[in-house]
Amino acid sequence: MRMRRIGAAAVLALVFVAACDGLPGKPKESDRPLSPWQVKSFTVLFSGNCAGCHGAGGRFGAAYELANPTFQALVDDAALTGIVSQGMAGTAMPPFAHKYGGFLTDAQIGILVDGMRRRWRVGAAPPNAPPLAGGGGDPARGAQVFARSCAPCHGADGEGSPKAPGSIVDPSYLTLVSDDAIRTLIVAGRTDLGHPDWRGYPPGQPLSAQQVADVVAWMAAKRPRFVPGSYARNP
Amino acid sequence: MSLRQIARDVGAWLDHRLGLSGPIIEAAEHPVPRSSASWWYVFGSAAFAVMVLQFITGLCLATVYAPSADRAWQSLLYLNYDQPLGWFIRAMHGWGSNFMIGLVCIHMAQVFLFGAYKYPRELTWVAGVVLLLATLGMAFTGQVLRFDQDAYWGLGIGAAIAGRTPFIGGRVVKMILGGPIIAGETLSRFFTLHVFVIPGLLIAFVGLHLFLVLRLGINEWPMPGRLVKRDTYLAQYHELVSKDGEPFFPFAAQKDLVFIGLIIAALVVTAAVMGPIGPNGEPDPAIIETVPRPDFFFLWLFSVFALLPPWTETFLMLTGPVAAIGLLFLVPFISGTGEKSYRRRPVSVMILVLSFMTIGILIYLGTYSPWSPHMEAWSSVPTPVDYVSGRTPLELQGAVLIQAKQCRNCHALGGQGGMRGPALDRTATRLTPDQIVRQIVQGGGNMPAYGRNLTPAEVNAIVAFLATMHPAHQPPARLAARPQRPEQTDASP
């Protein structure tokens, strides 16, 4: 009689202990607190460090659409690593590598670059695409490219139209944006906000590398040396 | 010989030598007023039971815990993830601490409401206040032993309070922390406090408290109009228990036992469902992007310090705790006689309700601490999509800069971001572009001045973006009657 009772208690205790693995309070391996530099998940790294500017999932952010497949097809790992590590001087893109004052390790930057490629690159680079890097354009020829390819949306002088509101030659805007960012936008476009890429100005007449360089040079030439503050402008 | 027979023989052998059974039976059967065998009187014994449980789980934890700065945190992780059921013991101990504080507070509130601290039970109350302080002391030192980022908060604020003591402040800090900063010595000291000093104090004062309860008898149910007078009370009480008394065991004790059972069951379920408390991130001074936060029983203090204007802090930090604790000790001496029933003591009831409400609200504020910046918002909380599509290039740059300049850490957009400053979704209905410029450049009202840290182009972009922050149906703010004033700021060239 007594033995049976003890046996029952032991079985109950065993069931309890076994069930403990399934108890909701048991900490899961994923709850383990990590130092910021131990984080290895792309999703966590991207949403913690990049989503604020580049948008959740790399789209619809205030800064460039990193999930754009054309961009991911054209850019290479080294360029991405360089940009993420060192930031883009003179713009709001901050450096992330420890040695440039950021908070990410080189391994974490590797995970970010690798993750972006894996997720967002679809297919190989399209043939005849203009490179993302480059220079040496001619502003005067750029003005012609602009008139043909861009003015339909941005207005004759770049001051905007209902299709693309706001000026792309605003002195403050041009001061804040880099030539590289302008070139990326022209070549790879933004699928989220409806910007055409190099094949679409208008469709069927792709821009050549030289034409891209020229139109970037045209915009760069409009960048002012000095922007007066609005708070100094009121007399 | 059966087991029961052996047990009985051993018991008799011991009792023959110790002679304890008499006093124990006497204590167990001491008469209590019939009216006090109520569900209102179960909280003290429940607190006691949880305390005993804390001793047991604490003992288990102490076998694994390593009280050294470099291993404490690791040993908690070991308990959580590697030691079978280690997490459960930690959960029981952590939640047990919360339960105990809750029970002690309810017990005190009940004693206060029922006037049980009045003559002749003043000393019982005083011992009770010491027990409350010791319980809070255990909670505080226990939180430090967790030695994670939140533990730093407790220590930091404790050291800040102590450090402001006139003349001896520096020495007191050194004594608490074992040095000028939080380090390994700090942990040894808190381990000693948590495991030897305060438990010793608890045992001693629980002993005194119980001894007094037995000696003076359990408070009778307060009747409106039955006043406590020093010269008649004892005789009245005596008459009450002899006429209408019942033995404590089993008459009153059965309710205590049932309640203790319920509380322990609730504790086990809470521990099993909620799991262990922390440890959260490693306490590493190199990790700056954290907002350490105390456990809930000190959250109200956290709120007080966050909300008080800074100039009051030194004064209040030094006098506040002394005054509050002093008042608690003085309660039975301020109103030691007279009416016991809460129905006839409106002021006391008000004081109790107000204190609980204040602390409750402060704890609520502390859990969501709108005054702390959200340190990761700038890089992790995206601009709402509505504010991105259809914006001009300059406005988009402004949206990026709101992130890049960490405005988002204090300002929410679309309900997300810090809450230290107002949400910016409707800023344009309140401020004209000029006023926005002024707010950004000059700061003010707890916002830093960005004057020298922003280029004119950056200011233009931010203002262009913020000027769109008004609902479509509500026009942006305009200066009504005033002409544009030529107010110049420091930052203008």
Does the residue B66 lie in any domain?
Answer: yes
- Given this model, what pLDDT does residue B388 score? 94
Tell me the Ramachandran region of residue B414: left when phi exceeds 0, alpha when psi lies from -120 to 50, beta otherwise: left
CATH number where B426 lies: 1.10.760.10
- Given this model, what pLDDT does residue A113 score? 97
What integer best gives the mean pLDDT of chain B?
Answer: 86
Please state, in angstroms and rounded to a whole number, the distance separating the CA atoms of residues B338 and A136.
96
- Given this model, what pLDDT does residue B148 score? 81
Does the residue B177 lie in any domain?
Answer: yes
Domains identified in chain B, total number:
2
pLDDT tens figures, A174-198:
999 999 999 999 999 999 999 999 9
Q: Which of B387, B458, B486 is nearest residue A235 as measured by Cβ atoms?
A: B486
Q: Which amino acid is at B2?
A: S
Please state, in angstroms and rounded to a whole number, the distance separating the CA atoms of residues B308 and A32.
36
Last residue of one domain, picked from the residues B368, B390, B407: B368
For chain A, give every residue range classified as CATH 1.10.760.10: 36-120, 139-220
pLDDT tens figures, A105-156:
999 999 999 999 999 998 888 888 898 988 889 999 999 999 999 999 999 9
A130 in Cβ contact with A209 (< 8 Å): yes
Question: What pTM was estimated for this model as a whole?
Answer: 0.76
Cβ–Cβ gap A48/B272 under 8 Å: no
B296 and B331, same structural domain? yes
B332 and B412, same structural domain? no
The CATH code of domain A139-220 reads 1.10.760.10
Mean pLDDT of B55-76: 91
Highest mean pLDDT: which of A21-35, A204-218, B446-460, B475-489? A204-218
Residues of B with Cβ-Cβ distance to A175 under 8 angstroms? 455, 457
Mean pLDDT of A58-86: 95
Whether A60 has its CB under 8 Å from any CB of chain B: the answer is: yes
Q: CATH 1.10.274.10: does it fit domain A36-120?
A: no
Strand partners, B338: B228
Residues of B with Cβ-Cβ distance to A61 under 8 angstroms? 382-383, 388
B395 and B298, same structural domain? no
- Given this model, what pLDDT does residue A231 score? 47
- Given this model, what pLDDT does residue B243 score? 87
Cβ–Cβ gap A229/B377 under 8 Å: no
Does the residue B282 lie in any domain?
Answer: yes
Q: Which of B276, B284, B392 is nearest residue A27 as measured by Cβ atoms?
A: B276
Q: Classify burial at B169, counting beta carbons within 10 Å of its beta carbon; exposed 0-12, middle 13-18, buried 19 or more.
A: middle
- Given this model, what pLDDT does residue B283 score? 66
B386 and B352, same structural domain? no
A223 in Cβ contact with A143 (< 8 Å): no
- Domain region containing B422: 377-490
Q: Which of B371, B119, B96, B66 is nearest to B231 (CA)?
A: B119
Does the residue B10 lie in any domain?
Answer: no
B277 and B309, same structural domain? yes
Mean pLDDT of B151-161: 70
H helix count then E strand count, chain B: 20, 2
B362 and B418, same structural domain? no
Quick one: pLDDT band at residue A235, thresholds 50, 70, 90? very low
pLDDT tens figures, B433-486:
999 999 998 888 778 888 878 899 999 999 999 999 998 888 888 766 544 444
Cβ–Cβ gap A193/B493 under 8 Å: no
Question: Looking at the predicted structure, is the pLDDT value of residue B224 above 80?
Answer: yes
Q: What are phi and psi of A121, to 5 degrees?
A: -85, 125
Q: Which of B275, B280, B434 is nearest residue A33 as measured by Cβ atoms?
A: B280
Whether A13 has its CB under 8 Å from any CB of chain B: the answer is: no
Last residue of one domain, picked from the residues B322, B337, B368: B368
Neighbours of A144 (CB within 10 A): 14
pLDDT tens figures, B85-124:
899 999 999 999 999 999 999 999 999 999 999 999 999 9
Whether B204 has its CB under 8 Å from any CB of chain A: the answer is: no
- Given this model, what pLDDT does residue B90 score? 95
Higher pLDDT among residues B36 and A206, named by residue: A206
B453 and B420, same structural domain? yes
Lowest mean pLDDT among B100-109, B194-203, B402-411, B478-487: B478-487
Question: Looking at the predicted structure, is the pLDDT value of residue B63 above 50?
Answer: yes
Quick one: pLDDT band at residue A87, thresholds 50, 70, 90? very high
Mean pLDDT of A60-72: 95
Omega of the bond leading into B279 within 30 degrees of 0 (cis): yes
Cβ–Cβ gap B379/A53 under 8 Å: yes
B124 and B270, same structural domain? yes
Quick one: pLDDT band at residue B490, thresholds 50, 70, 90? very low
Last residue of one domain, picked from the residues B339, B368, B397: B368
- Given this model, what pLDDT does residue B180 score? 67
Strand partners, B31: B247
- What is the ipTM for the molecules in this complex? 0.87
Whether A48 has its CB under 8 Å from any CB of chain B: the answer is: yes
CB neighbour burial string for B247-285, b if at least 16 within 10 angstroms, e if fewer: ebbebbbebbeebbeebbeebbebbbeebbbbbbbbbee
Question: Looking at the predicted structure, is the pLDDT value of residue A14 above 70?
Answer: no
Higher pLDDT among residues B157 and A38, named by residue: A38
Cβ–Cβ gap B403/A232 under 8 Å: no
pLDDT tens figures, B333-378:
998 898 888 888 999 999 999 999 988 888 888 777 777 777 788 8
- Given this model, what pLDDT does residue A1 score? 62
